[in-house]
Structure 1
């Protein structure tokens, strides 16, 4: 999942963000660099790998934000305030009414990744052709809309299958990205333990409670002594 771009600090805005600093935005400070000790496993047997957590000794954590239904400018402002890079897994049915909203995220370096056209949570049970169409269709839409092809895929609802792994690989994507920690309804939820661990991939959503979810994530990563870095940079996606 060569030398990688410097990771951003969790407590200061990005030095590479495109908007010029304003009186409401703190001045950026030098970013710490965390050399990656992880790489995405290769496609094997025609099946894309599934990454649930990044196996790393570095004190890093990854923020991923899904769907795109709620388009509140506060979400981008909060990520800028705290200097948090994010990976966006967007679905056309949720964000397609205003794709321009997410160009602000792309301009600051956040990658728009593939989360299907329709967000069908039963997709993993459907025929290969249907799954490939949902995945490749969204890849093509993201490429046309934002000018950069996605490299990662997240299944709607989290369920995946062998057919889905094949469809992901055949669509030219590198990996399926899962999670074991989630910021939801203003609190953190963990599949294992009761705190964030190095290499955790955290799931959030563009929902009305974005600010309270981000606050819960912020408290958790600071308590764990982890820095938020961009998933794609660290794993080489």
Structure 2
């Protein structure tokens, strides 16, 4: 098979090949759109291959030039991509979303280096190798991460909606709010949601001595292991407040990251940490398990409000744990 030197081109108006491009077999199989998706899928497998001719990719996967897979395999994969998109469109319509959520890119193979945000250091942070405190994950991917705190509202419609739309999120749980219905959060876990530590009683940790902070954090670790089968590695300190004792206590019971947030979303508004009042790649977004008794709307209303801005800004929602 002769190397294909033609570059691929795709854009907002559709997917296609430059005139004279290779993979003619796939194109001749009546796959105008599907062949374009297939080529894009193939291109995604090799970094930069949308800009480099195939015959110059020698060495990327061994010593041989990259060969195009059989047209049938490309056609099948393109069909799967098309079906997945159709399911997303249908789910968005069912749940009243104005736009279809964008799919997140694959989880990065090389994880970003997470460091404490400047100005968020505690005493002895670097010397004691305490868990990093961060509000944004360093990534060029146009993604944000949704995190939901405490566990007060247990809306079954929220579970169905997030599963149907395949929107990932991380739940930071406090035991005093979830102990009446662990089963609800087991369902969440079984659907791939990351369950993390938000302490036993949602206490203001810097106001407590070290031993009590350790009890709040490590006690919740034991609850999480007993009820959900795993000790988490993520902590969100209540109210976003912490000190050196908080991070030392967290480290003592297996916490690796202290996760804060860049934006907070409510059912009717957004609040921003940064001066530009906007989303950025890798931002962590906070919200809470709340319903109509406390907010002017339901959990599904909250999700619609969240997704409206995220999708309109061209962002996908990714799974936080995939980047850590």
- Would you call these one fold, judging by a TM-score over 0.5? yes
With the shorter chain as reference, the TM-score category is 0.7 to 0.9
Residue 170 of structure 2, aligned match among 66, 84, 87? 87
Number of the residue aligned with 2:202: 119
CA shift for structure 1 position 126? 1.1
Distance 1:157 1:197 in 2: 22
CA shift for structure 1 position 205? 0.8
Residue 204 of structure 1: SS of its match in structure 2? strand
RMSD: 2.6
Residue 136 (1) aligns with residue 201 (2): no
Distance 1:139 1:54 in 2: 24
Say which structure is richer in helix: 2
Runs of 4+ that moved beyond 2 A: 9-13, 29-32, 34-37, 39-46
Residue 211 of structure 2: SS of its match in structure 1? helix
Number of the residue aligned with 2:312: 223
Distance 1:11 1:59 in 2: 22
Distance 1:194 1:82 in 2: 27
Q: TM-score, normalised by structure 1?
A: 0.82
Checking the alignment, whether the CA contact within 8 Å between 2:105 and 2:141 is kept in structure 1 is no
Q: Kindly tell me: are residues 151 and 73 of structure 1, through their superposed partners in 2, closer, same or farther at Cα, counting changes over 3 Å?
A: same
Residue 246 of structure 2, aligned match among 164, 178, 182? 164
Distance 1:194 1:169 in 2: 33
Which of structures 1 and 2 has the bigger CA Rg? 2
Which residues of structure 1 form unaligned runs of 5+?
1-8, 14-20
Distance 1:49 1:32 in 2: 25
Q: Kindly tell me: are residues 210 and 30 of structure 1, through their superposed partners in 2, closer, same or farther at Cα, counting changes over 3 Å?
A: closer
Q: Which protein has greater RCO, CA pairs closer than 8 Å, 6+ apart?
A: 1
Checking the alignment, whether the CA contact within 8 Å between 1:12 and 1:83 is kept in structure 2 is no
Alignment coverage as a number of residue pairs: 214
Residue 54 of structure 1, aligned match among 111, 127, 137? 137
